[in-house]
């Protein structure tokens, strides 16, 4: 196990704590199999390369800029899923407050508009990918990205992200991606965690 430089972090909750919005079976498969596999592959692919000595954040940026697609795919997905799990908590928080809410209102007119636009962008990601909330100089922006891509790779600041790969929702929502995204936004987001990521 000498090559296990990159280690899958523990979940910030128990496997069944997100039910019924995300079932225990989905968390077990998504975290225990998919997320773990990205770390395993990253360790295997990076061993003996310059990436093995970097932090995960640096691997994401460097492999993306280098066009090292296999390394990036696994580093990106390893990084993406850490945000995904860490931003959620059982029961969630109904809405943000303070500066976070102020910025959402400034950028999207209202929290309800934000949720609607985030859901639309999530549905608009063709095939597998992610929908991200990004903070930039002009405020907040919602961005859909394909496959393992994330704002970090583009030098942007990530606040939150929802996985729209089918493995994230198919057991619970079949092919109805909007219901899955809405359910997370309504019932699982830890807005205090998201707020703490503001620059």
On whether residue 3 sits in a domain, the answer given is no
| Domain, as residue range, for 158 | 98-196
Say how many domains are in the chain.
Answer: 2
Q: What is the pLDDT of residue 3?
A: 59
Q: Are residues 178 and 124 in the same domain?
A: yes
Euclidean distance between CA atoms 83 and 63, whole angstroms = 19
* Whole-number Å distance between alpha carbons of 147 and 59: 17
Say what the pLDDT of residue 1 is.
43
Q: Are 134 and 157 part of one and the same domain?
A: yes
Cβ atoms < 10 Å from Cβ of 159: 22
Same domain, 108 and 80: no
pLDDT digits over 71-89, tens only?
Answer: 999 999 999 999 999 999 9
Give the Cα separation of 142 and 122 in Å (integer). 9
69: CATH: 1.10.287.990
Is 150 in the same domain as 68? no
pLDDT for 125 equals 98
Q: Which two tokens stand for residue 117?
A: 């636009």
Tell me the three state secondary structure of residue 105. helix
Query: pLDDT 10s per residue in the chain (199 long)?
Result: 455 899 999 999 999 999 999 999 999 999 999 999 999 999 999 999 999 999 999 999 999 999 999 999 999 999 999 999 999 999 999 999 999 999 999 999 999 999 999 999 999 999 999 999 999 999 999 999 999 999 999 999 999 999 999 999 999 999 999 999 999 999 999 999 999 999 9
Residue 153 included in any domain: yes
């Amino acid at each position: 196990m000498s090559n296990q430089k990159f280690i899958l972090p523990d979940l910030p909750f128990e496997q069944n704590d997100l039910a019924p919005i995300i079932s225990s079976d989905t968390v077990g498969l998504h975290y225990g199999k998919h997320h773990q596999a990205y770390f395993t592959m990253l360790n295997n692919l990076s061993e003996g390369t310059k990436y093995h000595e970097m932090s995960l954040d640096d691997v994401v940026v460097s492999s993306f800029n280098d066009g090292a697609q296999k390394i990036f795919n696994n580093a990106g997905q390893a990084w993406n899923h850490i945000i995904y799990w860490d931003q959620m908590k059982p029961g969630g928080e109904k809405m943000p407050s303070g500066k976070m809410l102020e910025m959402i209102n400034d950028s999207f007119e209202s929290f309800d508009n934000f949720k609607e636009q985030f859901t639309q962008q999530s549905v608009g990601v063709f095939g597998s990918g992610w929908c991200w909330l990004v903070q930039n100089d002009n405020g907040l922006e919602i961005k859909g990205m394909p496959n393992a891509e994330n704002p970090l790779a583009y030098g942007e600041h990530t606040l939150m992200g929802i996985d729209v790969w089918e493995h994230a929702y198919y057991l619970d929502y079949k092919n109805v991606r909007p219901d899955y995204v809405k359910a997370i936004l309504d019932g699982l987001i830890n807005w205090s965690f998201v707020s703490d990521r503001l620059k």
